[in-house]
Amino acid sequence: MKMTEQVHILGRQGGAWVVKQDQQVRIIDVGVGSVDDFVCFNADNLDERFSQARSKANQGKLFLSTGDHLCNRDNNILFSIAEDTYGIHDLQYACAAPGCTPAWASYHGLDETFTVGGRSKPGDYIGMVARMDALCGLSACPGLGKALRVEIYQS
């Protein structure tokens, strides 16, 4: 795989980017124990957004890891988890703390996020393959102030 983009997200900050179909986005913990909120939309139709409820119901579980999928409200797969050294990720709660969800996501009514991280060590990451062109956002938890790195790869 060839890295095509790298974004550094400082603690208590956020970022957004587009991931093309079949590209992999890798979210890397550069601190210790960062808890972060990831959101995603179909880049061609922002009404098609990540859904915790559909992702839970379609897979019959609250915690996701390698081999699982992030689904939208129409049951389409936005991302598939290809690699995960964190271990598991939470679908139970909305954002980690008030203000964690990126402002543009809140504007679009998205209060459902995919929680990345938690019990981690520096270098832990999750790699997700886009199943459609996706607009993504990630916020580094304001309570912990831990930095992240996002890398996008072309297969």
Q: What is the pLDDT of residues 81-137, one digit of tens each?
A: 999 998 878 787 655 555 555 554 555 555 678 888 777 788 899 999 999 999 998
pTM (2 d.p.): 0.88
Tell me the three-class secondary structure of 57-120, residue by residue: HHHCCCEECCCCEEEECCCCEEEEEEEECCCCEECCCCCCCCCCCCHHHHHCCCCCCEEEECCC
Mean pLDDT over each residue of the chain, to the nearest integer = 85
Q: How many structural domains is the chain composed of?
A: 1
Q: Each residue of 56-65: pLDDT tens digit?
A: 999 999 889 9
Residue recorded with tokens 């890398």 = 151
With a cut of 60, say whether residue 73 has pLDDT above it.
Answer: yes
Measuring CA to CA, how many Å separate 126 from each of 85, 106, 120, 129? Answer: 6, 24, 11, 10
Report the C-alpha gap between 121 and 137 in whole angstroms.
22
What domain range includes position 135?
2-154
